[in-house]
Amino acid sequence: GESVGLHLPTLSVQEGDNSIINCAYSNSASDYFIWYKQESGKGPQFIIDIRSNMDKRQGQRVTVLLNKTVKHLSLQIAATQPGDSAVYFCAERWWGQGGKLIFGQGTELSVKP
Amino acid sequence: DAGVTQSPTHLIKTRGQHVTLRCSPISGHKSVSWYQQVLGQGPQFIFQYYEKEERGRGNFPDRFSARQFPNYSSELNVNALLLGDSALYLCASSLEGGESTDTQYFGPGTRLTVL
pLDDT digits (tens, 9 = 90+) for B21-60: 999 999 999 999 999 999 888 999 999 999 899 988 999 9
The confidence band for B90, taking pLDDT boundaries of 50, 70 and 90, is very high
Cβ within 8 Å, pair B101-A43:
no
| Residue A101 placed within a domain | no
What are the DSSP calls for A45-95, one per residue? EEEEEEETT-SEEE-SSEEEEEETTTTEEEEEESS--GGG-EEEEEEEEPS
Burial class (CB in 10 A: 0-12, 13-18, 19+), A82: exposed
| Residue A71 placed within a domain | yes
- Residue B98 is predicted with a pLDDT of 58
| Weakest-pLDDT range from A3-7, A65-69, B40-44 | A3-7
Q: Number of folded domains in chain A?
A: 1
pLDDT in tens, A17-27: 999 999 998 88
Q: Which residues of B86-102 are buried (b: 16+ CB within 10 A; e: fewer)?
A: bbbbbbbbbbebbeeeb
Residue A56 sits in a domain of what CATH number?
2.60.40.10
- Residue A27 is predicted with a pLDDT of 84
| Residue A53 placed within a domain | yes
Q: How far is it, in rounded angstroms, from Cα B58 to Cα A90? A: 19
Q: What is the mean pLDDT of residues A43-62?
A: 95
Closest CA to B35 of B12, B66, B9: B66
| Residue A15 placed within a domain | yes
Tell me the shortest Cα–Cα distance from A103 to chain B, in angstroms: 5
- Residue A29 is predicted with a pLDDT of 82
On average, the pLDDT of chain A sits at 89
Q: Number of folded domains in chain B?
A: 1
Q: How far is it, in rounded angstroms, from Cα B25 to Cα B28? A: 8
The confidence band for A100, taking pLDDT boundaries of 50, 70 and 90, is confident
Residue B45 domain boundaries = 5-114
Q: What is the mean pLDDT of residues A75-80?
A: 97
Cross-strand pairs, B110: B89
The confidence band for A30, taking pLDDT boundaries of 50, 70 and 90, is confident
Residue of B nearest to A104 (CA): B42
The confidence band for B69, taking pLDDT boundaries of 50, 70 and 90, is very high
**Cα-based torsion angle of the residue sequence B84, B88, B93, B97 in order, rounded to the nearest 10 degrees:** -20
Q: Which of B99, B100, B105 to substitute to test the interface with A, most A CBs within 10 Å?
A: B99
| Residue A109 placed within a domain | no
Phi, then psi, of B84 in degrees rounded to 5:
-70, -5
Q: How far is it, in rounded angstroms, from Cα A80 to Cα A66? A: 21
Number of inter-chain CB pairs under 8 A, A vs B: 75
pLDDT at B101 over 70: no
- Residue B41 with chain A: CB contacts under 8 Å: 105-106
Q: What is the mean pLDDT of residues A68-77?
A: 94
Residue A7 domain boundaries = 1-33+48-82
